Chains A and B, each alone.
Chain A
């Protein structure tokens, strides 16, 4: 009997939303305790700041340029490398419960198993899908044919209308506002907490674990759809955080002039989006103009986000108690992270897009090794990537790391040296294309831009994270930093894997 793995992901969660990372708003005692007992990573970086490419990196252990999921709407091939498959072949039982999103949600022709399995069951045809023997899917809300949506339709149809409609009648990400402030993607939701998807994911995880024999090894990816927008947690829980008492985030400049000055010092698409002149990516509501965001809307979004984070923490606590009750407590590794961050008011913006700053790039990552492995607690300050997760799972399981994996098992020693971490953005949608290449090396993050709709390929961003944690000072064109900048760009070119060619087709918006 070996070490079992509970891989917990959330969706679109900022680093600073956890108590152990200095967060003040949400109470997260369960994750905080895991961090205290285990390893807390202070600079975990995604290889893409949107869902599908980032999740493809987690499962394949590859950068987007290798796995080929270069933007949302590009499906990961079903025969792509999968760490779940590696573990399955090593004798592990495998499950994915919650949000997968390796395949597009917009699937009118029902071509993708993620969208069709819900009407068949929980075991994929042929026994496995991407190495998972058991899949039960959920996403934000109750649309579509995923398991959670079907469960809600069959058991609580009267509650379907309580959830925010994530897309509008024109199939665009919905910009409709709600709550007390009219903030976009906010809705008062009267669904009872027990029926909310966070609880459902925990319930289904516990049910799957209950079906296993005590001596089996298992890998369970428990994937919460929150705190990704829409921000429509059960209204019964909103008393936890009064949005009127929420401080504005330090990254939110309260004066419009200050916001605009910051945005003007960055490549053009920042300000163009803020003004509503350019929407470069599908993930942000096409009809919403960030310049209209009010301080109270930021407060309400952050309050709702905090409630969602608390519910996840409590759901995780419930799963950990179930694991302990099975007698597995000493032999389970828990890894908690997310796929990318959320702007959540920084620079006067919400949602996500081609913006490689901490709001989207600095992620919560906690690894609580199995107590039986006797790994000392640590805090790792050097950058690590989500690309390092798959090799970490292999190391935990004691199986060789496939040579298709590009990362390195996460360090447990603060003094371990690491390669810099790479992040990339590519989007090309209805006449607008944007391309970023980023390297994070210790306390410096450097982004270069490729030619695109609003960039000529000379733009860049260079931030000193130690001196400028809010990334307000762009040093890319500073003479005094040129040597450092050029060295980072050279390293990026050396480290970046060659791109998959030809580029995989974009076949859906998301």
Chain B
């Protein structure tokens, strides 16, 4: 392993333009609709607190929410994490489809695998939700 920090990326092609996908991502309170295993999500200002199905509570700082670039970034600030940044990008391909990419950088590295692994299921749910609309 190359160090304490891990970087993991997952992406899916979704059969919808970015404008149809973005509302689910850009609204930070809607996380529970598409990210499996997140049972509660509260937003106060630029802080979001999530609770997972295992009862774990994590506080996140919401860093970027850009509806033009279709980029959302957040950082977990709980003690469990030395450093973390997750980035969700929606890339409109111009043909009625988009690529939704979830990137996670974290120290400790195994956390990046776990968070991005959960997010991959989230991307699949997102794809299903949007394509069934």
Interface residues in chain A, defined as those with a beta carbon under 8 Å from any beta carbon in chain B = 73, 104, 106-111, 115-116, 145, 170-172, 279, 282, 286, 429-432, 505-509
- The answer on a CB contact under 8 Å between B52 and A109 is yes
- The answer on a CB contact under 8 Å between A286 and B118 is no
- The interface residues of chain A lying within 8 Å CB-to-CB of B108 are 170-172
Provided the pairs A116-B53, A507-B120 are in contact, do residues A73 and B113 lie with their beta carbons within 8 angstroms? yes
- The answer on a CB contact under 8 Å between A171 and B38 is no
- 8 of the cross-chain contacts (CB-CB < 8 Å) are A108-B52, A109-B38, A109-B53, A507-B117, A507-B120, A508-B113, A508-B117, A509-B110
- The answer on a CB contact under 8 Å between B54 and A108 is yes
Interface flag for B48 (CB, 8 Å):
no
Interface residues in chain B, defined as those with a beta carbon under 8 Å from any beta carbon in chain A = 1-4, 6-7, 10, 35-38, 52-54, 56, 82, 108-111, 113-118, 120-121
Instruction: Give bound CA distance, A106 to B52, whole Å.
Output: 13
- The answer on a CB contact under 8 Å between B110 and A282 is yes
Instruction: Give bound CA distance, A113 to B7, whole Å.
Output: 27
Q: Which residue of A lies closest to B4 (CB)?
A: A170
Q: Which of A106, A172, A507 has the most CB of B within 10 A?
A: A507
- The answer on a CB contact under 8 Å between B1 and A505 is no
- The answer on a CB contact under 8 Å between B114 and A108 is yes
Shortest beta-carbon distance, B45 to chain A, in Å? 25
**Of B1, B7, B56, which contacts A432 at CB under 8 A?**
B1
Instruction: Give bound CA distance, A489 to B3, whole Å.
Output: 36
- The interface residues of chain B lying within 8 Å CB-to-CB of A111 are 36-37, 53, 118, 121
- The answer on a CB contact under 8 Å between A430 and B1 is yes
- The interface residues of chain B lying within 8 Å CB-to-CB of A73 are 113, 117
Shortest beta-carbon distance, A195 to chain B, in Å? 24
Instruction: Give bound CA distance, A21 to B113, whole Å.
Output: 40
- The answer on a CB contact under 8 Å between A286 and B53 is no
- The answer on a CB contact under 8 Å between B118 and A507 is yes
- The answer on a CB contact under 8 Å between A110 and B113 is no
Provided the pairs A110-B52, A110-B53, A170-B108 are in contact, do residues A431 and B117 lie with their beta carbons within 8 angstroms? no
- The interface residues of chain A lying within 8 Å CB-to-CB of B10 are 505
Shortest beta-carbon distance, B116 to chain A, in Å? 7
Q: Which residue of B lies closest to A169 (CB)?
A: B108
Q: Which residue of A lies closest to B5 (CB)?
A: A430
- The interface residues of chain A lying within 8 Å CB-to-CB of B121 are 109, 111, 507
- The answer on a CB contact under 8 Å between A107 and B6 is no
Instruction: Give bound CA distance, A19 to B122, whole Å.
Output: 50
- The answer on a CB contact under 8 Å between A109 and B36 is yes
**Of B2, B54, B110, which contacts A171 at CB under 8 A?**
B110
- The interface residues of chain A lying within 8 Å CB-to-CB of B6 are 430
Instruction: Give bound CA distance, A431 to B1, whole Å.
Output: 7
Instruction: Give bound CA distance, A394 to B64, whole Å.
Output: 56
- The interface residues of chain B lying within 8 Å CB-to-CB of A109 are 35-38, 52-54, 118, 121
- The answer on a CB contact under 8 Å between A507 and B113 is yes
Q: Which of A116, A279, A282, A430 has the most CB of B within 10 A?
A: A430
- The answer on a CB contact under 8 Å between A508 and B114 is yes
- The interface residues of chain B lying within 8 Å CB-to-CB of A106 are 110, 113-114
- The interface residues of chain B lying within 8 Å CB-to-CB of A171 are 108-111
Provided the pairs A110-B54, A145-B54 are in contact, do residues A430 and B111 lie with their beta carbons within 8 angstroms? no
